Structure 1
Amino acid sequence: MNIRVTRAALLAAASSAVLMAPSAFAQEEEQTAGRTIDTIVVTAQKREQGIQDVPIAVTAFTAELLQNSGVRDIKDLTVLAPGLNVTSTSNEYSTTARIRGVGTVGDNPGLESSVGIVIDGVPRARNGVSFGDLGEIERIEVLRGPQGTLFGANTSAGLINIVTADPEFEYGYNLEAGYLTGGADGYRLAGSVTGPIVDDFLAVRLYAARGNRDGFLDVQTFGGPRTNAEDNDQDFVTIRGQALFNLGTRGEFQLTADVTNRDENCCGAPSIVSGPTSLALNALVPGSRPTPGNEAPFSRVVQANRDTTQDVTDGGFQAEFTYDFDNFELVAVGSVRDYSLITGQDTDFTGADVVYRDPTRNSFDFGNATAELRLQGTAGNFDWMVGGFYSQEDLTRRDAIQYGVHFEPYLGLLGGSPTLVTTLANGLGLTFIPGYTPLAVGQGAPAGGGNNLGDTYEQEASTFALFTHNTWAVGENTDLTFGVRWTDTTKDARADFSPSNVPACDVWETVFGEALDFTTAQNQAILAGFSQATQIPVASLLQFGTFTCLPGARDVYSNINFDQSRSESELTGILSLSHRFNDDFLMYGTYSRGYKAGGFNLDRFEQAGAQRVDFQSILNGNAVYPAQFEPELVDSFELGFKTEAFNDTLLANLYLFYSDFETFQLNTFNGIAFFVTSLNEGATTRGAELELLWLPTDNLTLQGGMTYADAQYNDFAATGTPDVDRLSGATMSLAPEWYTSGAITYRAPMGGNMEWLAHLDGRYVSEQNTGSDLDPEKIQEGYTLLNARLGIGAQDESWALELWARNLTDEDYIQVGFDGPFQPGSFNAFLGAPRTWGVTLRARR
């Protein structure tokens, strides 16, 4: 623990060093620095503005800093951005960003993001769709707090705004070759070329990258059918083309097309706690799960007999048109994108063949088209903007959970005998079903059973919004910013539930009714009589019946008509007053309202929030399948202080924030199924942020920040559901109180028109519970990550050779902990990446 505290102290010292050396600053103030923070431009308000003039908590990361820190996708960004947390779980799609402790677990495609992601002006509808190689980046802006006025729904916690490099009218190229080793061996090749096709009229930029990496995890396959002995590997190719048409002094038109393919294996999860069920697993397949007390998750050896195939294709087109009229500017941005994921999973995360998802029957397809039109201009002391936005989404999920050869004996062993599934089913059938034919052992829950044909979920969503965002200079140094956005959303969802092939569950549904309502007087009497006949307690029978009839085993779903629609309209907005006391000090206060759309739980579930699903009422036509959940609404208040000093070489900003969520969407896994809870009592997050950037010389850059965030679910009355009640008044999952980040970069000449580079960046986060249901077994203690880079190259940057390391100290930590599926008392976790190091060669013009 002392080591962690020491590392955290070092990071804090690096981040706040600019506040602790007044004498040094006094000396620097007498010098004339070649670089200043005034050159940092952001588009956080969809206008180009200096970062210190924007009344928003926004941090901008330049292309140089991102390159030195090895940032290739949004997950890498966490090492730099205070208050940002990004995790990946069961597949490549399930990537979730959180800001100031707020985010949404991404396993269910019906749930949208709390943190929006915009790439070159086009919003990506889910965080997972944005996960991948970002190509040549000009800058990344992280906006904290609700951004609902300009960026619309699903930005209730914040926004990540990514700006890539444009085509240029001068010829140039950029080549990169890298090799990595350590936790895994691999390579990355990337290159681009840019230049004019028609002088002063048409310029293009072509970019391509290819990467391949061994897996971070070794897999024990136990005879398969899986043959791949590695997991969490990487194999991708991406191509991006841009064409920029210069329309003279008044405007430009840009077309972009890109496609990425990832063919990988992901995501294994080792055991962190093995409960008593591990004894049954090991009785069937010795070594299939570590026994209690022998868990070693950071040996990075996992047990998986089934494939974890991930085949991702992501691509699209977008166009942007900008034209300056005499009194205003017109901006139009349109896009069409398609995302496809074929995914396999060893769903029990053990070496036994219990449950799995076959990649031929599990997929996710997402199509999205967007269009935005903005008019903006200045009239005297009034800077105005009005616009409209439209989005059309089409989502299809195919989900099939199948049983392996060990499911039936495993379930039986939980009750004391590997044949108990058929013994109980036959006992019920012979007693209560006339003409019943007994099942043979192995036929009760046969291999390949479950909802093996697969369920299909379809969702169509259309969103239309009108917005205005304006700044009125009410005084010489005082601005009033105000805006409002009206968003109208319509969603239609359908599900085609397949019949299940689990004959033992058919018996239970026949005897007790398809609804499996064990509370009726008739079923209580049946249970009592059967308990007496078998000498098995009623409570044990209920538990065994529940496991025999897991959601994927029940035919009741195939008799449910899931064809629903919902519409909602919301107003979001912003009101901000800022005053510049002098050239170096801006203070502002902001109120903003954010919104995340309601939707549908696209899954089989038996629990909807705090309530069990009343299948009997649904079958009787007196109720509908409770798949809908309500929108998430937040009111946020922020007080900001933006300061500059020492000839504009020092940026030191302080933000105080408080966000009150009226309702909060939660997606949690209880070991059997995911269920969505809409917490009507809501949640709050409050805290403070310090942000620093110092450019003391032309050679040295220091950047860092610190966030304190107290993110909690509000207190609510007991519901009787433990997985829900545990959340009342508790700190949110994956919401550490403290985040500290820092980066130091030094470049210096070394003779012969050459220079050398030294870079160190790091991040500390305090203790956090990584599980959505806050089980104590899922707590991750505070930890520190450090990255480093050393290099030499030409001063004109025509070439460079760099040696780098990520997770320099090989810190062991878990990203997300979860209940072992169908294994009460057992827990698994998705791990953070181990130490890797490598070498990169660059050439550019």
Structure 2
Amino acid sequence: MSSTKRTLLFAAASVIALTGAQAAAQDSRSVDVITVTAQKREQGIQDVPVAVTAYNAELLQNAGVRDLKDLAVIAPGINVTSTSNEFVTTARIRGIGTVGDNPGLESSVGIVIDGVPRARNGVGFNDLGELERIEVLRGPQGTLFGANTSAGIINVVTKRPEYEFSSHAELEYVAGSEEGYGVAGGFTGGVSDNLAMRVFGAYRERDGFQTVETFGGPRTEDRDGDQDYFTLRTQFLLDFSENVSLLLSADYTKREEFCCGAPSLVSGPTAAAINALVPGARPLAGSEDPFSRVIQANRDTGQNIIDHGYSGELNWEFDNFDMTAIVSDRSYSLRSGQDTDFTGADIVFRDASNNTFDFDNTTLELRFSGEGESVDWMFGMYYSDENLVRGDAIQMGNVFEPYLGLLGGSPTLVTDLANGLGFTFIPGFGGLAPGSGAPLGGGNPLGDTFTQQGESLSFFTHNTWHVLENTDITFGLRHTSTDKEATFDFADSSVPACDVWEAVFGDALDFSTPLSQAILNGFSAGSGVAVADLVTFGTFTCLPFSRDVYAQIDNTQSLEENQLSGLLSVSHRINDDFLVYGTFSRGYKAGGFNLDRFTQAGSSAVDFQSVLADPSSYPARFDPEVVDSVEIGFKTEWFNDTLLANLYLFSSDFETYQLNTFNGIGYFVTSIDGASTQGAEAEILWLPESMPGLTVQGGVTYADARYDNFAPTGTADVDRLSGQNFSLAPEWYTSASVSYTGELEGGMNWLAHLDGRWMSEQNTGSDLDPEKVQDGYMVFNGRVGLSAEDEAWSLELWGRNLLDEEYVQVGFDGPFQPGSFNAFLGQPRTYGLTLRVRN
């Protein structure tokens, strides 16, 4: 993109205003009344020396924001993607986020809902219910909001119970490529003089937006990407006195959906082998059409998710200070099937009974705060106790062995080579019949179990010293101690062909030893198969899920970390309408363990000979993520406080950056030494006095997020990253929104709303293959409606992705298909009607 076009886009987005909580200012039409809790106390948004943007209930409703994935369209600098199921949803801010679906990785972007941190991104992506506002804090957050984060915080505040009774109901019809409906409703009111409650419930159902060719199954469902969930939320507010209150909350969500198939983006040479076994099971090269939204999947992608929890928040105002205590207990359960080869051929799959994730998390936060003549102070502690259990089993279908054989020219090649090795080197070997190495449903039917227990204890302080009348110094410090223990319980494998290779070359399957080389040379001379090809077929016959070696290295590992983080900020109010500040902060995200089978750790292959001698040396541990960030902010108000215009300059340098990447065979986790993101953000909110029904907002972010240059490691998937931009990190994000309301004769109101986002080119793959590049694209949403003057009812016509923009969310290597690539797509155009009634 030319510098001229960039400048024009920046100017256009800056003229139309951003992300603010417009409706909080609807009565007074002043940006000066917008409040946030970015520093755990209510403050005007223009008084906080933090890059924070607030979105209020009316804006969120007009933009159709029900969960945090919807937020990305109106929030500049945020990118949210979903891949193989709803849990694998990742948020990124300024190009920084956690890559991949490994639950051993904590989130770079923290999600906090009503004061309770969600320990993984995917746990926080459900229907949020009745929203009060959402605040987005950009940059490392080291002293507040529960756990540390290295990229930012999305702070969700839902509506609290009220004593005045009110109720509402909503009926929605969805049309387009995904037809469905939704019903929602709730009420709030006083139960007694000092007890109020709020109840919200919703049920939503929608057809899948992808058609599935099942090729005889066993899958029978011919749609994918549907929606079928129920959610219920209750709150009780008990006011013991004017100074003491207790908020009790409970919520429950259940999802039973099919998600997520991925069409072919590029078909490589292996597509011919797949089609020789099952014609049409993968488009051949040149016939790929991912946006036809027709996928090939003979195996089930059903997912069953249950997410529920309880929390209590006690607020006690003493004479000279306030105390807040928040305790929570949450559980998350996932059962998810997967057609792991993403074709119609029965090569490999995951059954929902063996592909599981269970997560329990208990937290406690205690804060004390007060205001003196010159110092606003706060100190507290945060404790988290989490337990997660991951079950994983990649199973082989009935064409696994013929498929591998066809890569070498014969569907029986895997069996032939195994028989040749067995007859030659294994006394008494009886031989394998073709296909015996891949019985239907064979290979690891019980699955591996990974268990991780973690405890984190933090003590923090966050203070503001009013040095002069218009000058403040904010300083915070946090000490975090983290203890984790992971247990790797690998299941036995039952793959006869691989058993032969391991019997001949040892369970470590080390082809480089002198004995192995002698065997390979001798067998090559007798079989006519080149040594390099023998190694390739041995590797593919004994992919990680097929190998017996893992069952011999069950082990338990632990780590302990102690880390200091914090911030120092100086802010100066030049006048009532102009605040400037500069902040240095250090962020931290804990290290952990790669909860998976893998043959590569970082830039090195796993030395299974050493691991067999000492199973605890299985190199699963990865380092913490540590970042130092500098930010300069300018917050201004204009035209009688009807125009908010802010500018932020930022630079963040990572000492270590956690990377999880897929190379077509498996995920491997490594810590990159050195990465950075730097750039600028502008945001504007305009509430024109001459047009009291008009609110215009928009914003632009430029972020250059890239890996530092590093010396070659010898591993192509790692070396490709040196000096390159992060995946899923476009340089430019712009968003804009226009809302206009007015009155009609006869006592009715009207609404017109349009929002949109443009993102520049980005590579959507963690290993930056050029086939995964997504060109810049735009998405627009709109809404028009009529309502009663007293808002007793409203009827709205809305559309999402109005231009039916076709774009890739995430591209990835076709599993076990070198040269082929698949993609998880963005949703197509949908539209519908929403009827609301209120009392």
Output the TM-score relative to the length of structure 1: 0.97
**2:567 matched to 1:574?**
yes
Distance 2:238 2:455 in 1: 31
Q: Report the Cα distance in structure 2 between the residues aligned to 1:254 and 1:151, rounded to whole angstroms.
A: 18
C-alpha separation in 1, matches of 2:88 and 2:546:
25
CA distance in 2, matches of 1:837, 1:599: 43
Cα deviation for residue 340 of structure 1 reads: 0.2
Of 679, 685, 700, which aligns to 1:693? 685
Q: Secondary structure at the match of 2:806?
A: coil
Distance 2:490 2:85 in 1: 23
* Counterpart amino acid of residue 461 in structure 2: T
The one-character-per-residue Cα deviations of 1:790-812 (angstroms, maximum 9, x if unpaired) are: 00111222211000000000000
Task: Please state if 1:109 is matched with 2:103.
Answer: yes
Partner of 2:274: 281
Structure 2 Cα separation of the partners of residues 519 and 529 of structure 1: 15
- Counterparts of 1:124 and 1:729, CA distance in 2: 32
Residues 504 and 825 of structure 1, relative CA distance in 2, 3 Å threshold: same
Question: Is the Cα–Cα contact under 8 Å of residues 818 and 829 in structure 1 kept in the other structure?
Answer: yes
Post-superposition CA distance 1:129-184 (Å, at most 9, x none): 01111100000001000001113545100010000000001000121111111120
**In structure 1, how many angstroms separate the alpha carbons of the residues matched to 2:559 and 2:88?**
25
**Is the contact between residue 153 and residue 597 of structure 1 (CA under 8 Å) also seen in structure 2?**
no
Instruction: Answer whether contact 2:17 2:697 (CA < 8 A) is retained.
Output: no
In 1, Cα distance between the equivalents of 2:6 and 2:84? Answer: 31
1:741-770 deviation per Cα after TM superposition (whole angstroms, max 9, x unaligned):
000000011112211100000000000000
Q: d(CA) in 2 for partners of 1:7 and 1:208?
A: 44
User: Which ranges in structure 2 are unaligned for 5 or more consecutive residues?
Assistant: 19-25
Among candidates 435, 442, 448, match of residue 455 of structure 1: 448
Residue 591 of structure 1 is matched in structure 2 by 584
Letter aligned with residue 92 of structure 2: R
Task: State the one-letter code of the partner of 1:16.
Answer: V
Q: Which amino acid aligns with 1:729?
A: G
Q: How far has the Cα of 1:660 moved from its partner?
A: 0.2
1:616 aligns with 2:609: yes
- Deviation string 1:479-504 (CA, Å, 9 cap, x unpaired) is 00001000001001001100101011
Give the counterpart of 1:840 among 821, 831, 834.
834
| Mapped pair 1:68 → 2:67 | no
Alpha-carbon offset, residue 622 of structure 1: 8.2
1:21-46 deviation line (CA, Å, top 9, x unaligned)? xxxxxxxxxxx993111221111111
The residue that corresponds to 2:411 in the other structure is 418
Encode CA deviations 1:306-328: one digit per residue, 9 max, x unaligned.
00011000000000000100000
- Which residue of structure 2 aligns with residue 22 of structure 1? none
Counterpart AA for 2:12: A
SS of residue paired to 2:275: helix
Match in the other structure for 2:295: 302
Match of 2:21 in 1: none
2:735 maps to 1:725 = no
Q: Is the 8 A contact 1:451 1:499 kept in 2?
A: yes
Which runs of 5 or more residues in structure 1 are unaligned?
20-31
Partner of 2:84: 90
CA 1:505–1:410 in structure 2 vs 1: closer, same or farther (change >3 Å)?
A: same
The answer to whether the 8 Å contact 1:328/1:376 transfers is yes
> What are the equivalent positions in structure 2 for 1:192-591 lying under 5 Å apart?
192-199=186-193, 201-591=194-584
Contact 1:152 1:485 (C-alpha < 8 Å) held by counterparts: no
CA contact (8 A) 1:8 1:784 kept: no
How far does the alpha carbon of each residue in 1:818-840 deviate from its partner, in whole angstroms, 9 at most, with x for none?
Answer: 00000000000000000000000
1:13-162 counterparts in 2 under 5 A? 13=12, 15-17=14-16, 34-162=28-156
Matched position secondary structure for 1:248? coil
1:570-625 Cα shifts (integer Å, max 9, x gaps): 00001000000000000000000000100000000000010000000111228610
| Distance (whole Å) between structure 2 residues aligned to residue 75 and residue 178 of structure 1 | 19
- 1:749 & 1:8 partners in 2: Cα distance? 38
Instruction: Tell whether 2:651 aligns with 1:658.
Output: yes
Supply the distance in 1 between the matched residues of 2:272 and 2:619 (Cα, whole angstroms).
37
Find the aligned partners of 2:432 and 2:13 in 1 and give their Cα distance. 69
When normalised by structure 2's length, the TM-score is 0.97
How much does 1:537 deviate? 1.1
Q: Look up the SS of the partner of 1:149 in the other structure.
A: coil
691-700 or 619-628: bigger deviation: 619-628
Instruction: State the Cα RMSD in Å.
Output: 1.6
Q: Is contact 2:734-2:758 (8 Å) kept?
A: yes
In the other structure, the counterpart of 1:683 is 675
* 3-state SS, counterpart of residue 662 of structure 1: strand
Q: Distance in 2 between matches of 1:623 and 1:161?
A: 39
Q: 2: distance between equivalents of 1:204 and 1:756?
A: 32
Deviates more, 1:235-244 or 1:535-544: 535-544
* Cα deviation, residue 125, structure 1: 0.3
What is aligned with 1:26?
Answer: none
Q: Report the AA paired with residue 266 of structure 2.
A: V
Change (3 A) 1:301 1:7: farther
The 5 Å alignment of 1:763-802 reads: 763-802=757-796
How far apart, CA to CA, are the structure 2 residues paired with 1:149 and 1:777?
Answer: 41
Q: How many correspondences in the alignment?
A: 829
Moved over 4 A (4+): 5-12
Q: Distance in 1 between matches of 2:821 and 2:618?
A: 30
Aligned equivalents of 2:792 and 2:682: distance in 1? Answer: 36
8 Å CA contact 2:168, 2:185 repeated in 1: yes
Choose which of 776, 799, 809 in structure 1 pairs with 2:803: 809
Cα distance in structure 2, aligned partners of 1:266 and 1:7: 37
Shift, 1:360, TM fit: 1.6
Distance in 2 of aligned mates of 1:106 and 1:703: 33
The separation in 2 between residues aligned to 1:139 and 1:574, in whole angstroms, is: 26
AA aligned opposite 1:273 = V
Structure 1 residues 639 and 743, CA gap change in structure 2 (3 angstroms): same
Query: In the TM superposition, what whole-angstrom CA distance separates every residue of 1:699-746 from its partner, at most 9, and x where no partner exists?
Result: 010111000000000111100100000000000000000000000000
Task: Indicate the SS of the match to 1:545.
Answer: helix
